Amino acid sequence: MNEDRKKQVLNILNAFKGYQIFEIEKINFLKNPNEYFHFIKSNLLYSEDSCLMTLCFGDSGPCLELLKILCDRKKLNKKTIVILDKNRANRSKKFFEIVNDLDINDIFEFFDTDGSIFLPSKINELVSVLHSKIYIFDDLILFSGANLNETYFTNRVDRYIYCKDNFFGNYLRLKYFRKIDTFNKFLTEKKVEGFNNNDTKTFIIEYEEKDELDILKIIFEEEFENIYLSTAYMNFTKSHFDIFENKNMKIITSSQKTNTFNDNSMVEKFINDGYTNTLLETIQRLRKAQFYEYKKEGYSFHCKGVWCFTNNMAISIIGSSNFNFRSINRDVETNFLIITIDENAFIGLQNEINTIIKECNEIFLEDVEKRETSALSRITNNGAKRFL
């Protein structure tokens, strides 16, 4: 490995002392919701040990197909755990009926974010949800912000990166799925403590919502030629603004038509107006940034992440966080920081963000100022932002 590039990576890794750093041989990319569905399907069919954590699981179409595969896995005595958010799961009686009919209740666990038993599930969701997405199939790990319901397999655009690594897989099983049977494997495998292999070109750090601001601060203190940030739901906190201010960067978000809050109901119109208000505030605050809205017809937008490029090195964050108020104050999040000087990974990350930008329109302050929002959404904006 080139000594200058090695030094560059070492400097970055030293900034993340205290975090578990995993050395990864290579990362791979999926391109679209259809590939994502077939990836999940094929790995549920053929893996021996599958662990899935996500906000929600659908109950029809491709999701019904996956539920039937889970039933087959149980008959074959394959190890399977699926963890879902309890309140979101309670939205669908049909889901529980199917799970009962297939006799796969014992495969599912439901994460309770300690909402009030006296409040409806939808209200408890406003307070907090399990927002993490973790998908492990034997030694294969998929990083994504996508859930396991129908739209994510058809027309809800997200990101999908995967790698193979036994140690990393067992670490995540132990941490998130309490897989005690992997404990001995985990102890006997070599623990990575930073930069041990001269041939390693890609490193991954897993972190939770409590570490988000610290991770972002470290990244944005570095100098990069190009910085991109994408959020499906824009609502930066003061702490986010402090980090992003005075940075030349490109920020991507959903448009009013691609954020899913567009069925013209009074509630969804109020939410849509709320995101318009926060977008206006963000453009006014981050004067050096360029802003883009995803516009692809027939699709909704759920891509979240950070991409930073310089001197043949790339850094990217992928996972569940939208980098907003909820992400650091309300929801349970899991994210993955990728640091790479691998040429194929570098090109893959560039292609990923270029594909997203290609489907966007650049927007300016005057564009958003022309948009009409309700007086109620403007009056209640400061309070509403605590739930967006």
The tens digit of pLDDT for each residue in 303-345 reads 999 999 998 899 999 999 999 999 999 999 999 999 999 999 9
Q: Is residue 197 part of a domain?
A: no
Q: Which domain holds residue 42?
A: 25-191
My answer on whether 123 and 214 are in the same domain is no
**CA 169 – CA 136 distance, rounded (Å):** 7
Is residue 322 situated within a structural domain? yes
| Whether residues 222 and 85 fall in one domain | no
Q: Who has greater pLDDT, 267 or 135?
A: 135
Q: Are residues 151 and 251 in the same domain?
A: no
* Average confidence score pLDDT of the chain: 91
- Among 63-77, 235-249, 270-284, where is mean pLDDT lowest? 270-284
Give the count of beta carbons closer than 10 Å to the beta carbon of residue 162: 18
16 and 30 housed in the same domain? no
Closest Cα partner for 184 from 166, 163, 205, 196? 166
Q: Are residues 7 and 118 in the same domain?
A: no
Q: What share of the chain is helix, strand, coil (3-state, %, to 5)?
A: 40, 25, 35
| Residue 207, domain member (yes or no) | yes
Helix, coil or strand: residue 243:
helix
Same-domain pairing of 34 and 101: yes
Looking at the fold, whether 14 and 141 belong to one and the same domain comes out as no
What percent of the chain stands above pLDDT 90? 75
Q: Which residue has the higher pLDDT, 131 or 8?
A: 131
pLDDT reported for residue 355? 98
Do 257 and 132 share a structural domain? no
Average pLDDT (146-155) is 98
- pLDDT value for 277: 94
**55 pLDDT tier (thresholds 50, 70, 90):** very high
pLDDT of residue 197: 60
Residue 314, pLDDT score: 97
58 pLDDT tier (thresholds 50, 70, 90): very high
Q: Does the structure show a pLDDT above 50 at 224?
A: yes
Q: From the CB of residue 287, how many other CB atoms can be counted at a distance below 10 Å?
A: 9
239 in a structural domain: yes
**Residue 121 clears pLDDT 60, i.e. is over it:** no
The reply to whether 196 falls in a domain is no
Taking the CA of residue 151 as centre, how many other CA atoms within 13 Å lie in the half-sphere pointing to its CB? 13
Examine the pLDDT at 128 and tell me if it is beyond 80: yes
Whether residue 366 lies inside any domain: the answer is yes
Among the candidates 139, 165, 191, a domain finishes at 191
167-223 confidence digits (pLDDT tens): 999 999 999 998 656 555 555 555 544 455 667 899 999 999 999 999 999 999 999
Domain boundary (147, 164, 191) is at 191
Say if residues 206 and 333 touch (Cβ distance below 8 Å): no
- Which residues 6+ apart lie within 8 Å of 47 measured at CB? 78, 137, 138, 140
Answer with the one of 127, 156, 191 that is the final residue of a domain. 191
CA distance 176 to 82: 11
Confidence at residue 118, expressed as pLDDT on a 0 to 100 scale: 46
373, HSE (Cβ side, Cα atoms, 13 Å): 23
Residue 45, domain member (yes or no): yes
- CATH number of the domain that residue 120 is part of: 3.30.870.10
Q: What pLDDT is attached to residue 175?
A: 93
Rounded to whole angstroms, the Cα distance separating 209 from 333 reads: 5
| 5/45 same-domain check | no
- Predicted local distance difference test score (pLDDT) of residue 218: 96
| Structural domains of the chain, count | 2
Strand partners, 6: none
Would the pLDDT of 10 be above 90?
no
What per-residue confidence (pLDDT) applies to 223? 92
33 and 106, same domain (yes or no): yes
Residue 213 and residue 345 in one domain: yes
0.85 cut: is pTM over it? yes
Cα(322)–Cα(301) distance, integer angstroms:
12
Half-sphere exposure of 371 (CA within 13 A, CB side): 20
pLDDT tens per residue across span 168-179 = 999 999 999 986
pLDDT at residue 259, as a whole number: 82
Residue 2 domain-assigned?
Answer: yes
Phi/psi at 82 (nearest 5 deg)?
-125, 120
Confidence of residue 265 (pLDDT cuts 50, 70, 90): confident
Sign of the torsion formed by the C-alpha atoms of 143, 148, 150 and 151:
negative
Whether residue 90 is found in the same domain as residue 125 = yes
- pLDDT at 8 exceeding the cut of 90: no
